[in-house]
Chains A and B, each alone.
Chain A
Amino acid sequence: MSIAENQVAAGRGSARAVAILSSLGRFLVIAVTTYLGLLAVTFFIGRVIPIDPVLAVLGDRAPTAVVERTRREMGLDLPWIEQFYLYVKAALRGDFGTSVLTTNPVMSDIRRVFPATIELATLGTLIGAVIGVPLGVLAAVRRGSLIDQIARIIGLIGYSVPIFWLGLLGLVLFYAKLQWVAFPARLDVVYEYTFTPITGFYLLDSAMQGQWDVFYDAYRHIILPAALLGYFALAYISRMTRSFMLNELAQEYIVAARAKGLSETRIIWGHALRNAAVPMVTVIALSYASLLEGSVLTETVFSWPGIGLYITNSLTNADMNAVLGGTIIIGSVFIAINLLSDLLYRLLDPRTKVG
C-alpha cells in the first residue's frame, strides 16, 4: 500500500467506509499471498541448503543405522511436495514443530525470546524518536547552522558505520573501561535465578513486582544496546524529519501563518510539524518494524537472547523448524505494523477527516 494511494483515499460518509473496507480487503489479499510466498520460499531454501538436517539432530558421531532411522522419523525421505504440504497443514493449526536445538515447540521458544527483542526495539525506537524528531526539526529550522551540521554528521555515521563495530566499541568503553553499564546479558547472575518474569519484558515485570533493584539491573543491561539501536534509528528519523520539515516550511500556508502574525513556535510545532507528522509516522513505524526483526548483530554482540539471535543460531545449526517459525512470526509482525501505521495515517491526515 503506497503513500499515494492513501492520500488519494479521501471521501465522506458511506463512500469512505466502502473505501476503507475495500482497502482492508486488498490488504488482506496482499497479506495472505505474502504469507504463502514467505512459507514456500523459506521452506524450499531450507531444503536446498547443502546441510543434512539429520546432522543437526544427531551430531557427527551417530552410527549409520541411527541416522537412517532418524531420517525416516523426520519425514525427510518423503518427496518435497509432500513435506511442504504436511508443513503448511501443521502451520495452519499454529504448530510449527519442535526446535531441534532447544527441544521445545517452536511457538513456545518464540514466546520466550520475542519479548526480549520487543523490549529492546521499543526502547531503541523511543530513544530514536524522542531525540531524532526535535533534532530534525532544529536542523530544518536552522538550516546550515552548527546544529544542522552536527545532525548531518550523526546521520552520516549512522548510515555508514557497522553496528557491531560501534557495539563492541561501546562495550569496551562503557562496560570494560568505565563500568557504567552491565555486561552482555539481560540481567546479572545474582538476579537471574531469583527473579520470575511475568510478561518477559524485564523492565515492566520488575516494576510491576516492585523489585526496583532488579529494575535498575535490567536497565543497566538494556541501556547500551538500546542506545545503540536508538542511535541508528535517530540517524534515520532525524534526516527524514529534516527533509519533511523543509518541505512543509516552503509551503504557502506557512507564509500565510506568518503574515497572520502567529508566533514562530506555533508555526513550527503547531502547523509545520503537525503536517510533517503524517509521513513521520510511517518512518518511525518502519524503523520500529526493522528493529523488531531482531537486530541480529546487536543481539549477538550483547548476548541478548532475542529473536534475531534465536533465528541465527537455528540457521547455523540447520534447525529449520525454528527458522521457518521465526520467519513467519516476523513476517506477521511486519504486516501488522504496516497495517497499524496505515490506520494511524488516516487518523492524523486532516484530509481524511470526516468534515
Chain B
Amino acid sequence: MMLEKFAVRSLLAGVAMTALLATPAFAVTPADTLVEGFAIDDIISMDPGEAFELSTAEVTGNTYDLLVRLDLKDTSKVKPDLAESWTVSDDGLTYTFKLKPGMKFASGNPITAADVAYSFERAIKLDKSPAFIINQFGISGDNVTEKAKAVDDTTFQFVVDKAYAPSFVLNCLSATVASVVDAKLVKEHVAAVTPSADYKWDNDFGNAWLKTGYAGSGQYKLREWRANEAVVLERNDNYNGEKAKLARVIYRNMKESSAQRLALEAGDIDVARNLEPNDLDAIAKNADLTTTSAPKGTVYYISLNQKNPNLAKPEVRQAFKYLVDYDALSTTILKGIGEIHQSFLPKGDLGAIDDNPFKLDVAKAKELLAKAGLPDGFKVTMDVRVGQPTTGMAESIQQTLGQAGIKLEIIPGDGKQTLTKYRARNHDIYIGNWGQDYFDPNSNAQTFASNPDNSDAAKIKTLAWRNAWDIPDLTKETEAALLEKDSGKRADMYKDLQKKILDTSPFVIIHQQLEVAGLRKNLKGFALGPSFDTNFVGPVSKE
C-alpha cells in the first residue's frame, strides 16, 4: 500500500538520521598533550593573591614560582626556588633572600626583587582569603612596603614582628599566596578603584585581570581557564629550570568518578583524578591502566559541639573515639583513598605522630557513658554532606554508635549548607575534612588546638571555636610552639600537643586522605605530591 510505503520511508529516514554513526575508532589524546579528567568546579579565581581552592593550588603550583618551595624529599623542610640562598638575622626578625641571577618571567620580563616585593604588597593590600598566611607576621597594608621590600635587584628583605621559628616563616612563604607575579605585566592591567572604608587603595593591583589572566614564571603558563569546562596550560619556554616535557596540559572538568573511568578506559583522557574505590579497583585490574596515590595534608574527622550538654561531658567525648569502626572503614569505604590516622597533624608535617590508639570497643564506650550518667545513651544529630566518603562514614558511625545506645539522626545536606550551619555553631555533630592551609604544623595546630576567644563574636574562629571548645591553656602552648627556634624542640612540642588532645578533644579524627589517580600506562613521570600545590605536571611525558 502507498500509505505504508510512505510512512515506513519517513520512519526509516528518521531512524537513519539518528543512526548514522561514526566508524569505530580508538580515541587517543595528542602525543604532546596531557589530558586530565578532574573536578575543577571549585575554581573561583586564578589570581595567586586570591585563590585558595584545591584545584587552583595545583594550577598555581605549576604556573608560578616562589622564593622557596617545599622539599619533596623531606617535607619538613623547604628548598630554594627563585631564591638561591637566605639568611635570618640574629634577632630572628629579618629574613634576607638572594635571588638567582638572570631569570625571566614567561613574558620575557626579568625577575627582580621588586617583583617579589610587589607580589607581597598586592597580596596584603587585596586582603583576600589567603592573605592571613602572610599578615600573621604582623604585616598590614600600611607597613607592607617597609616590611617586604627590595634592597637591590637581587636582594629581597622580609621583616617579621616576633622571633618566630624560622621553619614556620619559611613554610608559610612556600604557600601559593607568596607566588611571585610579573609586576611590570600586572601593572599594565590594573583597574582604578574608588577608595572606601573597607578598601583604602586606589587600584585593584590587577586583581580583576589576574582572575583569568596570567603573570608568572612557572614550568607551564596558564593559557585559558573556562569556568566549569577546562583549564589549559602551555609549556613556558622561558622557564628558569628544566623545561616541561609536554607542550600542553588540559584539565577537563569531569565531576563523576564513573564518567572519568569510562573516558580513561576509552583513551580520551590520560589521567582520572576523582575516582571512588570501586572505579579505582576496576582501573587497577585493567592491563592498559595503572593507579597511583599520595597521602595529602587533609584529615577527616567528626566533631562534637560542646554547646550540646551531653557531648560536652569528657567521658562522652572519649566514648565517641571508641565507637568508630576504624578497621571496617579502612577496608571498605576508605579503601585506597584514606589511611587511618587519629592525630591532627598529617603525616609529612614536622612533628606529626602516627599513634592510632583507638579501636572499636563498645564495652569500653558503654562504661564511659555510664560514668557520664548516660548508661542508656541519648539522641543526637549529625550534619552530613551528601557524597562520598562522608555519607558512607556517617552511616557506619550511626551503626556503631547504636551499639552503645546512642541514636544518631543523620541530617543530609549540600556541602555549603552543612558548612553554613557548622560555621554558625548550630550543629550537634559535624563530619568533614580539614586540609592544612600551608605546609606547617601550626596550620592544623592553630585550628584544632587553639581558641583564643570562645564568645560568639570572636574575631578568630578556629575549628575548636566552631565546636565551642574553650581551651585557654592549649591555646598558649600552641602559640609557644611558634616561637621555638630549634626545629627539633619545636617538633617535640607538637608531638606533646597531639598526644594531649587525642583523648580529650571533641574531635574524633579518623583518617588522612590519600589522593588517587588512574593513569594510562604510556604516561611516564606522573606523580602526586604531598600537597595540592605540589602535583607537578612538568616531568610528565608520553611513550
Contacts and interface: CB of A to CB of B under 8 A. Distances in A.
Interface of A: 49-52, 55-66, 69, 72-73, 99-104, 109, 127, 130-131, 134-135, 137-138, 141-142, 168, 171-172, 174-176, 178-185, 188-190, 192-193, 216, 219-220, 223, 226-227, 230, 263-265, 268-269, 300-301, 303, 305, 309-310, 313, 316-318
Nearest to A176: B262
B240 interface: no
Nearest to B229: A305
Nearest to B35: A189
A193 to B, nearest CB: 7
Contact of A134 (B7, B42, B224, B229): B7
Given A63-B132, A134-B11, A181-B21, 13 more contacts: A50-B417, A52-B416, A60-B423, A72-B198, A100-B44, A171-B259, A176-B266, A189-B35, A193-B232, A193-B250, A264-B2, A268-B3, A318-B416
Nearest to B2: A265
A190 B22 contact: no
Contacts of B6: 265, 269
B417 A181 contact: no
B420 interface: yes
Interface string B201-216: 0000000000110000
B460 to A, nearest CB: 7
Interface in B295-345: none
Contacts of B265: 176
Contacts of B420: 50-52, 55
B252 interface: yes
Contacts of B458: 64
A268 B29 CA distance: 53
Contacts of B127: 66, 69
Contacts of B232: 193
B304 to A, nearest CB: 19
Given A55-B420, A176-B266, A183-B27, A223 B21 contact: yes
Contacts of B423: 52, 55, 60
Nearest to A68: B198
Contacts of A268: 3
A137 B7 CA distance: 8
Given A64-B458, A102-B228, A178 B3 contact: no
B215 to A, nearest CB: 17
Contact of A303 (B27, B130, B259, B460): B259
B24 A190 contact: no
Interface string B266-282: 10100000000000000
Contacts of B263: 183-184
Contacts of A58: 128-129
B368 interface: no
A136 B202 CA distance: 68
B230 A180 contact: no
A180 B1 contact: no
B414 interface: yes
B382 to A, nearest CB: 16
B417 A49 contact: yes
A177 to B, nearest CB: 10
A263 B4 CA distance: 13
Contacts of B212: 103
A246 B18 CA distance: 28
Contacts of A131: 11, 14-15, 18
Contacts of B256: 300
Contacts of A183: 27, 262-263, 266, 268
Nearest to B232: A193
B419 A60 contact: yes
A220 B22 contact: yes
B81 interface: no
